[in-house]
Amino acid sequence: MKNKFKIALIITAAIGTGFLSHADDRSDIPVSYAEADLYLKFKPQTQTKNIRLDYDVFDTALNHTVFRMGISARKRMSRPAPRVGSRMVKGHVSPYRLEGSRVTFSLLNEKYFEGLTEYRKDLERIGSEIDLVRLNKKEQLAFWFNLHNVALIEQIAVNYPKRYPHLIEVVGQPLDEAKFLTVKGQSLSLKDIRENIVFPNWDNPDVIYGFFRGNIGSPAIQNFAYTGKNVDDVLTMQAHEFVNSLRGFNLRPNARNVSKLYEEAKPFYFRNWEADITNHLIQHARPEVAEEISRSRPIKIDNYDYVIADLLGGEGPSMATSYGIDSSGRALNGGRYPIEMERIMREVQDKIKILKRRGMITEGEVIIEDE
């Protein structure tokens, strides 16, 4: 994998601007974010460069490491029963454990870690060498999503096993705030990319869903990279999956619970809080979910699930193992896999049966793309 982590530049004709590219003026957001001198060099300018960034190799990497859980059945999962002869439950126990996607961190090796680091450095170099802010805004957005996500996956992989990715430290700072990235001579953190570059300069809140956080509460990560060509459609798909999941929105007797991620984005997209967040959620909700969102109850920030989005819950596998199965029940190359991994695969099978009974997926579908 190491020698394959490369990024290519392709000179192309001008690309259409699309619905995410009309946010040159964000004068309505907090000045402390929009006018921070350090980040003005990353503010998109009038397009003069017809360059397309090719992320085919990142596609390959993600295709081999991302397991998509499919659409949510909106069923809060109960705590798994312990194994016979034990009172302990290992692996994922979250009520949201069958939503979003998982990265197979437990199956990655040192060669793969090195490849991630090399690829992340390639992205930093390319972002520094080209006139990034003069590219089409879709290309810029795809670049920031991919840099953020590969850097996050890299650091979690290097520090694995770790149950809570947000507690990882890089150069002595929390993972989200550590300035371990450098583009155009500027040290950047993952939080900088989101809150000082993308959120101030793109006015569509769907960009929230492009950033993988490495935990169960996160928007999903797809098993392919963002590109200037697919970014609009993938963000719409990501938003649909997240809003219609319990981790995005769930109705409780006294409140409409929404993800903590919306609170983070509030200064940029939801300043008229209840009205703005309600309208945004309804835009992406299925009819039955939209009905719940429209209920006359206060908006409350839900408890966020910080547990790692892997297949083992950030723990070493138990000594007992079982023959692994995939989400359709087939053996995984005849190999032996931890029983925690087998359990979550069986739970995915049960979820699929529920979705089929509801007519939400058709026979033969396993991991589902949103329409």
pLDDT tens column, 87-99? 566 788 888 999 9
Widest pairwise Cα distance in the chain: 67
DSSP label of 353:
H
**pLDDT in the model for residue 27:** 61
* Number of Cβ atoms within 10 Å of the Cβ of 71: 22
Enumerate long-range contacts of 34-37, CB under 8 Å, 24 or more apart.
34/200, 36/196
Contacts of residue 99, Cβ cutoff 8 Å, sequence gap at least 6: 69, 72, 216, 245, 246, 247
**pLDDT in the model for residue 11:** 46
Pick from 22, 80, 82: nearest CA to 46: 22
Exposed/middle/buried for residue 115 (C-beta within 10 Å: 0-12, 13-18, 19+): buried
Specify whether the CB–CB gap between 55 and 149 falls below 8 A.
Answer: no
Of the ranges 167-176, 273-282, 344-353, which one carries the lowest mean pLDDT score? 344-353
DSSP label of 193:
I
**pLDDT in the model for residue 162:** 95
Specify whether the CB–CB gap between 340 and 313 falls below 8 A.
Answer: yes
The domain spans of the chain are 2-66+100-301
Of the ranges 57-66, 149-158, 213-222, which one carries the lowest mean pLDDT score? 57-66
Pairing of strands 8-11, 299-301: unpaired
Pick from 90, 66, 282: nearest CA to 157: 66
**pLDDT in the model for residue 342:** 81
Position 330 confidence tier, pLDDT thresholds 50, 70, 90 = very low
**pLDDT in the model for residue 7:** 61
Q: In this model, does residue 33 exceed pLDDT 80?
A: no
What tokens were used for 293? 């969102």
First-to-last alpha carbon distance for the chain, in angstroms, is 32
3-state SS, one letter per residue, for 78-110: CCCCCCCCCCCCCCCCCCCCCCCEEECHHHCCH
Q: In this model, does residue 14 exceed pLDDT 90?
A: no
Q: In this model, does residue 329 exceed pLDDT 50?
A: no
Position 10 confidence tier, pLDDT thresholds 50, 70, 90 = low
Mean pLDDT of the chain: 85
Q: In this model, does residue 337 exceed pLDDT 80?
A: no
Q: What is the pLDDT of residues 120-169, one digit of tens each?
A: 999 999 999 999 999 999 999 999 999 999 999 999 999 999 999 999 99
**pLDDT in the model for residue 76:** 84
CA 226 → CA 21, 60, 145, 233, 298, distances in Å?
15, 12, 7, 10, 35
Position 359 confidence tier, pLDDT thresholds 50, 70, 90 = confident
DSSP 174-188: ETTT---EEETTEEE
- Grouping H, G, I as helix, E, B as strand and the rest as coil, residue 140 is helix
How many whole angstroms separate alpha carbon 174 and alpha carbon 168? Answer: 6
Instruction: Break the chain down into helix, strand, coil percent, rounded to 5.
Output: 40, 15, 45
**pLDDT in the model for residue 172:** 95
**pLDDT in the model for residue 39:** 95
Please indicate whether residue 159 or residue 358 has the higher confidence score (pLDDT): 159
Q: In this model, does residue 262 exceed pLDDT 60?
A: yes
Q: What is the pLDDT of residues 157-204, one digit of tens each?
A: 999 999 999 999 999 999 999 999 999 999 999 999 999 999 999 999
